[in-house]
Structure 1
Amino acid sequence: MAEDATAEFARTLADEVDAARDDPAVDCPSTEALFTRIVIDELEEIGHFEAAFDLPQEGRVGRSPFQISGYAIDEDAGHLTLFATHYLGDLPPRRVPAAELLKTAERAGTYVSACIGGLADRIDPSYTEAGDLARTVEALGERIDRFRIVVLTDGISGGVLPASIDSHGKAVELELYDMVRLHRVLGEGQTRADIDVDLVALAGHRIACLPVASGAGHYEAFLAAFPGETLSRIYDRYGTHLLELNVRAFLGLSGRKSVNAELRRTLVEQPEMFLAFNNGVVATADEVRLEREGGAVFLTGLRGLQIVNGGQTTASLHRARRKESVGLGSVEVPVKIIRVTEGDLEEMVSSISRAANRQNTVQQADFSANDPFHREVETLANNAWLESGRGRWFYERARGSWLAAEQKASYRTTEQRAFREQTPKARRFGKLDLARYLSAWDGYPWRVAFGGQKNFQAFMQRRKETTAPAPDAAWFRRLIALTILYRSTEKLVRAMKFPAYGANITAYLVAAIGERTGGRIDFDLVWRQQKLSPELECLITDWAPQIETALRASVGSRNPTEWFKKEDCWTDVRTRLPALADPLPLELAGTPAPNGKAVITDSGAAGLNVADYARIEECMRIPSSVWVATAEIGQRSGVLHFKLAGICMTLANYAAGGWSRRPSVKQAKHGLESVAKVRAAGLFDEDQREAG
């Protein structure tokens, strides 16, 4: 049965690779490279890797061949992960001798020696990602603190790989993702019922616990101390599937005062005190397996395990063990396990979260099963039909939900055909896609450069910090318009065959359009047409080389990959953006109606031209303090009518909010005129003159 499920998953993955290979917008040198790209992206989405990229490279060092298929690198920490793909292309997946997979890993190990031996000098010196990586690895050299090789294969391992090998004098950790493991961690439709934890196998022994009966009889509770190593291994196996009922995502380790940084400090400096210092974990389970011996009670297994409070603790333990090689041998974690016997589990989880969550500030909006924002986007996608009424977009809130929906429809041929026509794969997008499109448009292309998972975390944090309003139907149409804009830009950039960094060019180009237009384009027009106008595509094609030139100029002698992740990069590129030119594309100028009049777009203006956008851009360069001063001084002196002062205060609020709301053409026009009037009257002091 398990073999059948693995074979079915392998066929699904192969279909995904075939669909990508047939897509003319996908620029990939081989089927093996496509397999690597898809697997790395999906492993990153569930949190197994951060900032991982596919990059096939091969060659020789003397008589020794080297070959890699991708990488993830943290220069500050001295951590290097290389991906090595052993691709067969067989269905059903066949067994691969462990010795062959080991040779694949050894060829990746030789790559580091090649870099240290001057591989970068033998690579085309032009602006290429391959040369950038080789120079980075060479610069790290002996400073590589942690070196890991991850073997990816579409086969099934015929044996167990060693935990580490010695490669050219360096200790290298080995990790294998064969089709069995890929099915386990990426398996479509996996639910909490599929999480079955054998504690004896993971811990090496039973775990003593104290059963506590509920006076009301609605639940059973068990108190225990889990070895930190065991909890980390559970997370290693099931990942974010353990947190489906949790209220928050892992918030990271940045910041000297962050709770997670404190957790790490305890793990490193006082591991034996972790039990005393940490609040521990609250979990629910559908089934709790026990053994009794004398008067003692032991936990042996848990089915349907969900961590509803303490996700930060669990993820931090896993990160410390796997990514920072922190030993957890002396760490014990307090764990409370609850099995609900009556009532609604999700309602119980919400109550537990409200009562128990004290480690970080949590807003009331966070207390629901799965993030409410993503549930709402999913609902909007299900109800937002295209203008033709014959299709819609599919938001894959949970990875694999599109395939699960297709399989559900496959029981009847007519339903399957209708599903594929209404929601084809081309109109499918997920959480990481959403975060990438909105982040680039809102002026965070440097965040996009961090990769899907890190950008997603930053995006969600921004939403919480800015208390963004709940999405509605108009917001969803705008989102789809941005999706079309981003994907069209991606396709056009790929077709231009830039030597490297096409993904960065795309993100910065979309940000440039958002910057030059003040974020105001006719989103409704793009939604209605479900494509860009030829004129806007021409603008993108004209701007792409100019954005590449701007990126090159901003890099200087820096490492491009790291520089593109800096806010300073965007600050510099913003000074080098291409200029708009008349006539503008329909999406920017307003749409002509049959009667010859321009339709009022959602930007609140019709028949826009370059001068209008220039005023919006100039308006957005003025800080909030100047708008406030203009309103107060102008109205007090009688230079400004109270309505103009009100417009200036509105613009002050927009500026204070980072221009998440953009000025209309009328607001920009009246605002700039107001600043000019107050300045002409000599009412600004010198500081305000310079700021304005």
Structure 2
Amino acid sequence: MFSLEEFHQDFMQRVAVETQSRGMSKHEAFIESIRDELVKDGELSESCELAEYNKKDMEVCGYAFDEERGELSLLVSCFFQSDTLQTLTKAQIDSKFKKLKTFFKETANKLYESMEEGFTHHSMAYNIYTYLSKNMVEKVRLILITDGKATKNLLVIPNETKSSIEIEHCIRDMEYLYRMYKLDDSSNGFEVEVNLPVLVVKTPTEEYNAYLSVVDGTTLAKIYGDYGSRLLEQNIRTFLQFKGNVNKGIRNTIEYEPEMFFAYNNGITATASGVVVENGKIKKISNFQIVNGGQTIASIYATSKNKKNDVSKVYVQMKLSVVANESKQDAFVAKVSECANTQNKVNKSDFFSNSPFHRDFKEYSKNILAPARDGVQIKTYWFYERVRGEYLTEQMYLTSKEKNQFLKKRPKSQLVDKSLLAKSEVAWLQAPYVVSNGAQDSFKKFAKHITETLEKDEFSITGNYFKEAIARIIMFRQTEKIVSQANWYASGYRTPCVAYTLAYLSHYLEQRSSFLNFMKIWEEQKVSAPLQKILAHIAPNVYTHITNPPVGNTNALQWCRTKLCWEHIEKIDFNLEIDEGILTSAEEQKYINKEAKKDKKRTTDMEKWIFVTGFKYWPQVLAYYQREDLAGQLSTQQMDILSKMATGVLNPPSEKQAKILYELYENAMREGLVIKQQVDVPTF
């Protein structure tokens, strides 16, 4: 396991890579990195925006508002920029929180009026003033983020109450992020203390343990208030703020017939990695996840807060399943979630986290070598981080030499997570307003697109798609760099500007039936000078339009999140001059895609055939190649794959492994191997 110091070094190296590859300052890369981690962990809502403001006795670097819970989060940073882990002092903590409190206080006094419009800090101050003036804020969380470490006695700061608003102080340091990393990503590693009656259900399988319970509304509201979206992280639906008929029905029952709630409501389905039962009561639930009934628990919480209703008479039945094998936790929760969510219409894209797309994309990232670049002859891989912390985890037990080799082949600059992939793809799909709305909305849009694509053609996610998707990521990052380093860029709205720039180019080419040559970007592993010139021409024009909303729109941030903004920009003529060298013909594009799908189908057929042959045939193939007269005929890799298949370790084999196994089987049959219970060898 990595030590805290090693984790800190890795984190700072990531910040350095982000700084270089995206053209932003270290401080910007730092606060964005921590912001993303806190959003993933449910600490911050998806609406979290970075907006730096540092003047006199005020300081802030971002904010988020959870409208459902009336919770405003304000961020301030203490960035040491040191290679060694620094200790946060009491004076630094006090100073940062004091400046943050002053900023919050001044927003209520119309601080935004003294700020220049068109900047993210103006939008931030204006929005906070709006929340306060409408009495929407019930709690303020002041969050100090740092690349240092605070001693334990400084982490506990008493809450305050100002004008009936509760103010909480939070410090999110490297030790906090380190703990997040060490916990199982799928479970988020938290424990909920409860006192619930329980009926232990004897199941006919050892796969899981089952419990039935009844939870009162007060307990549910408290749990949701404490853990929020972390409870629903693996749930397929989000709370719709009483916009749907189901939620209105839940609300009305809570308000007018709370004692009937148990009879009317279907209850909640939950999973956990463990429970503690004492004297017929559940006392503790580890890694509690609501996989069905998220609307129920969120509605109870919202009604108790927004309407000030007494929910103590509300009772909800709960079915709780605890998987016995922790290694199967992800698959178990996914299956329970899919089967439990049948009472309302659920789109297949809602289950995208469990889509074979991720398996295939991960497999391509492991097997497709990126072309060498910048005169370096070492070929590398792009690393697709399907699960948070996966990149670091794979280095955990490597020696120093092995780790250096790992980083040479899989450099941090070629690390891609699901959020970045979704943003770059959705931008090119001409939905920049979705990208502007945050990672979660981008991921939902991307999920819908991929799901519909796979439904039309199961062989559409090919090795060629992987290369083109990586090319779009390279272009996305290069555009970020262009924007960050431009003299017209003041700060703020970087992501919307990048998204609108790429969407505009995509739309422009589509209108002219032209195709960008993504394979050229892949082969060169960079954006060519002519393409950079085009992007640099579009970006400032886009920036001007998204930061100057038409009369009647609240502010630039809200404006660029609307489809209307995109419909306005896509019609503007920016007088582009397209270099033919960055394009490819429709015929060539069609041919490449066709061949890629044929190869994908061929490999998939191989995988299916290997599965049909079953485990019992492969030991015979292994025994054949272990003969003395054939010693040395197979490479170490071939023998390893064959041995694993023969012993049932590969279940199922990857595309690359399937190809190797098929070739070995076909070769053995050609050389005279006779398989008992003969299996026909198809031709692919």
- Per the normalisation by structure 2, the TM-score is 0.72
Q: Which structure 1 residue ranges, 5 or more long, are not aligned?
A: 591-598, 606-692
The aligned counterpart of 1:149 is 141
Shift of 1:484: 1.1
Q: Is 1:517 the counterpart of 2:509 in the alignment?
A: yes
Q: Is 1:375 the counterpart of 2:367 in the alignment?
A: no
Determine which structure has greater relative contact order: mean sequence separation of CA pairs < 8 Å that are 6+ residues apart, divided by chain length: 2
Kept after mapping to 2: 8 A contact 1:517/1:588: no
Which of 494, 498, 501 pairs up with 1:506? 498
Give secondary structure in 1 for the equivalent of 2:75.
strand
Q: Is 1:386 the counterpart of 2:386 in the alignment?
A: no
Q: Is 1:13 the counterpart of 2:22 in the alignment?
A: no
Q: Is 1:537 the counterpart of 2:532 in the alignment?
A: yes
Give, in whole Å, the separation in 1 of the partners of 2:167 and 2:484: 35
Identity %: 25
Shift of 1:529: 1.3
Q: Give the AA of the match of 1:107.
A: K
Which of 269, 276, 288 pairs up with 2:275? 288
Kept after mapping to 2: 8 A contact 1:44/1:452: no
Give secondary structure in 2 for the equivalent of 1:517.
helix
The aligned counterpart of 1:49 is 45
Give secondary structure in 2 for the equivalent of 1:437.
helix
Q: Decide whether aligned partners of structure 1 residues 309 and 181 sit closer, same or farther in structure 2, where only a CA change above 3 A counts.
A: farther
Q: Decide whether aligned partners of structure 1 residues 369 and 555 sit closer, same or farther in structure 2, where only a CA change above 3 A counts.
A: closer
Q: Which range is displaced more, 519-528 or 395-404?
A: 519-528
Q: Decide whether aligned partners of structure 1 residues 364 and 444 sit closer, same or farther in structure 2, where only a CA change above 3 A counts.
A: closer
Alignment map for 1:30-45 (pairs within 5 Å): 31=27, 33-45=28-40
Deviations 1:277-322 (A, max 9, x none): 3323333445432223xxxx11123446554444554566677789
The aligned counterpart of 1:617 is none
Q: Decide whether aligned partners of structure 1 residues 174 and 184 sit closer, same or farther in structure 2, where only a CA change above 3 A counts.
A: farther
Deviations 1:571-618 (A, max 9, x none): 111111423325x2422256xxxxxxxx9641679xxxxxxxxxxxxx
The aligned counterpart of 2:384 is 395
Kept after mapping to 2: 8 A contact 1:102/1:161: no
Q: Decide whether aligned partners of structure 1 residues 451 and 353 sit closer, same or farther in structure 2, where only a CA change above 3 A counts.
A: closer
Shift of 1:564: 0.6
Give, in whole Å, the separation in 2 of the partners of 1:43 and 1:253: 22
Q: Which structure 2 residue ranges, 5 or more long, are not aligned?
A: 373-377, 593-684
The aligned counterpart of 1:645 is none
Deviations 1:603-636 (A, max 9, x none): 679xxxxxxxxxxxxxxxxxxxxxxxxxxxxxxx
Shift of 1:25: 3.2
The aligned counterpart of 2:468 is 478
Q: Give the AA of the match of 2:24.
A: D
Give, in whole Å, the separation in 1 of the partners of 2:442 and 2:302: 18
Kept after mapping to 2: 8 A contact 1:80/1:144: no
Which of 571, 578, 603 pairs up with 1:575? 571
Q: Give the AA of the match of 1:481.
A: A
Q: Is 1:427 the counterpart of 2:427 in the alignment?
A: no
Alignment map for 1:59-70 (pairs within 5 Å): 59-60=55-56, 65-70=57-62
Kept after mapping to 2: 8 A contact 1:152/1:177: yes
Q: Decide whether aligned partners of structure 1 residues 88 and 331 sit closer, same or farther in structure 2, where only a CA change above 3 A counts.
A: farther
The aligned counterpart of 1:586 is 581
Give, in whole Å, the separation in 1 of the partners of 2:33 and 2:75: 13
Q: Is 1:176 the counterpart of 2:170 in the alignment?
A: yes
Which of 12, 24, 27 pairs up with 1:27? 24
The aligned counterpart of 1:661 is none
Q: Decide whether aligned partners of structure 1 residues 291 and 460 sit closer, same or farther in structure 2, where only a CA change above 3 A counts.
A: same
Kept after mapping to 1: 8 A contact 2:51/2:124: no
The aligned counterpart of 2:191 is 197
Q: Is 1:275 the counterpart of 2:262 in the alignment?
A: yes
Kept after mapping to 2: 8 A contact 1:447/1:455: yes
The aligned counterpart of 1:413 is 400
Kept after mapping to 1: 8 A contact 2:192/2:223: no
Q: Decide whether aligned partners of structure 1 residues 565 and 66 sit closer, same or farther in structure 2, where only a CA change above 3 A counts.
A: same
Give, in whole Å, the separation in 2 of the partners of 1:448 and 1:438: 10
Q: Give the AA of the match of 2:284.
A: G
Q: Decide whether aligned partners of structure 1 residues 56 and 391 sit closer, same or farther in structure 2, where only a CA change above 3 A counts.
A: same
Kept after mapping to 2: 8 A contact 1:554/1:572: no
Give secondary structure in 2 for the equivalent of 1:289.
strand
The aligned counterpart of 1:127 is 118
Shift of 1:38: 1.7
Which of 524, 543, 552 pairs up with 1:548? 543
The aligned counterpart of 2:478 is 488
Q: Give the AA of the match of 2:500.
A: Y
Give, in whole Å, the separation in 1 of the partners of 2:363 and 2:310: 44
Give, in whole Å, the separation in 1 of the partners of 2:282 and 2:254: 25
Give, in whole Å, the separation in 2 of the partners of 1:551 and 1:85: 28
Give, in whole Å, the separation in 2 of the partners of 1:456 and 1:465: 14
Q: Give the AA of the match of 2:45.
A: F
Which of 429, 436, 442 pairs up with 1:449? 436
Q: Give the AA of the match of 2:213.
A: A
Give, in whole Å, the separation in 2 of the partners of 1:514 and 1:254: 35
Shift of 1:231: 5.0
Kept after mapping to 2: 8 A contact 1:189/1:404: no
Kept after mapping to 2: 8 A contact 1:45/1:452: no
Give secondary structure in 1 for the equivalent of 2:571.
helix
Shift of 1:451: 1.6
Q: Decide whether aligned partners of structure 1 residues 339 and 38 sit closer, same or farther in structure 2, where only a CA change above 3 A counts.
A: closer
Alignment size in residue pairs:
570
Q: Give the AA of the match of 1:383.
A: N
Q: Give the AA of the match of 1:128.
A: F
Deviations 1:402-430 (A, max 9, x none): 1112324xx22332122111111111111
Give secondary structure in 1 for the equivalent of 2:244.
coil
Alignment map for 1:213-292 (pairs within 5 Å): 213-215=202-204, 219-228=208-217, 230-231=219-220, 246=234, 249-253=236-240, 256-257=243-244, 259=246, 263=250, 273-292=260-279
Kept after mapping to 1: 8 A contact 2:275/2:282: yes
Shift of 1:510: 0.3
Q: Is 1:360 the counterpart of 2:350 in the alignment?
A: no
Q: Give the AA of the match of 2:426.
A: S
Q: Give the AA of the match of 1:573.
A: I
- Per the normalisation by structure 1, the TM-score is 0.71
Which of 283, 304, 313 pairs up with 1:300? 283
